[in-house]
Structure 1
C-alpha cells in the first residue's frame, strides 16, 4: 500500500484499542519516534533518522496536523469527518493559510541531476539551515501535494465504530481503513439488527 506523508501525519491521531483516542505526538519522545519512522518519506528533505524533537517542534507539527485534518474534513464532506476532532476544527481558510505559511518558511530551488549513464532527476536544494524549519516545511509541502493530487479524491473517513482514521480508498468497494475495522463495523450492524428484531418482537400489538 502506498504511503503518503500527509496521511501519516493525520494518522498520528488514532484509536487506542480500548475505546479511546491515542496521540502519537503527545510527548517529545513520541514525536521523535514518529519523525524517525518517516525517514523514507522524508528522504531528500531532511535526515529524519538523526533528528530529535523538542517541545517547540512538537507543537509546530501538531498545529500543522490540525490544519491537515481540517482540510481532510473538507475533502470528505458532506460525509462526516473523523470524530476525534470534528468539534474543534480550524476553518478551511485558516488551515490553508497555515499550510502555505509553513511551506514558505523554507526557501528551496529545484536542481537537476543527470548522470552520463542515466535519466535526469530533480531535487530541491534548501537555503534553510534550521532542520526544524525544514521538517515542518517539508510536511506542509507534502500536505499541499497530497491535497492537490489525484489521490485526494479517494480520501475517506473510516466509519467503523471507535475508528478516527482517514484513509485513501484503494478499490471501489472499500468502506473502512483496514480489515479489523470492517469486522467491527459488520459486528455492530449485526448487533443492531438483532436488537431491532428483539425489540420489534417484544413490542405490544
Structure 2
C-alpha cells in the first residue's frame, strides 16, 4: 500500500454516516482492529522482531488513543495542504494548530528509529529497506508506520493534488485523479449537481 493511500485511508476513517452526521470508524478498539486487519502488511512497514502477524494483532485503548491522536494531526495538516481551498467541514472549526500537528507526526515516526539497508540481488536493481536500530515496543509500530506514510505523502508529489470534497454532507479528502475532478466520487458529484439545481430553482422562483 502506497504512502498516499495509507495517509488518505487514515483521514477517511472520519466519514459521513448517511444520515446527516459524521461517523468514526475508529470509535472503539474493535474498529481499529478491523481497520488494521483490512490492510495486510501495514505493521510490517516498521520491521520489529516482536510485532505479531497482522491477523493476530488486536487494538487496545492505548493504541486506539495513539492512532486517533495521529489522525487529528493528519486532518489538520490536510486542511493546511488544501489552502486556499476550504478544509473538510467535519473538523474545520476545531483544527489542531499546524506546529502541534507536525510535532505529533514527527514524534510518532521517531519512536521506532530505523537505518537504511542496501541489498543488491544477482539479477535486479539495488533495493533499500529500513530496519530498526534497536528494540522497540510492540504498540509503537502502528503509529510509527502511519506517521511515516503521512510524512511520505505530504512531502511527495501527490500532496499538490489533495482536495477536500465539498459535496453536500461529504467530509472526505481526496487526491485528484485528473484536472477536472471536483468531487471525491461520482455520487458526490451527483448530489452537488442536484443541490445546485434546487438552489437555482429557488432563486428563480422566490
- Would you call these one fold, judging by a TM-score over 0.5? yes
Distance 1:72 1:102 in 2: 17
Compute the displacement of 1:48 (Å).
3.2
1:78-120 Cα offsets, whole Å, 9 max, x none, are 2111111111111000000111111111111111222222222
In structure 2, the CA distance between the partners of 1:151 and 1:58, relative to structure 1 (3 Å rule), is same
1:36-115 equivalent positions in 2, closer than 5 A: 36-45=37-46, 47-115=53-121
Query: How many pairs align?
Result: 199
- 1:15 is matched with which residue? 16
1:149 aligns with 2:156: yes
Distance 2:79 2:104 in 1: 16
Q: Which sections of structure 2, spanning at least 5 residues, go unmatched?
A: 48-52
- 2:50 is matched with which residue? none
* Residue 135 (structure 1) aligned to one of 120, 139, 142: 142
Compute the displacement of 1:45 (Å).
3.0
The alignment's TM-score, normalised by the length of structure 2, stands at: 0.91
Distance 2:116 2:98 in 1: 29
Q: Which sections of structure 1, spanning at least 5 residues, go unmatched?
A: 200-205
The alignment's TM-score, normalised by the length of structure 1, stands at: 0.91
Q: What is the DSSP-based 3-state SS (H/G/I as helix, E as strand, rest coil) of the residue aligned with 1:83?
A: coil
Q: Which has the higher contact order (CA 8 A, sep 6+)?
A: 2
1:22-43 Cα offsets, whole Å, 9 max, x none, are 1000011001001111224554
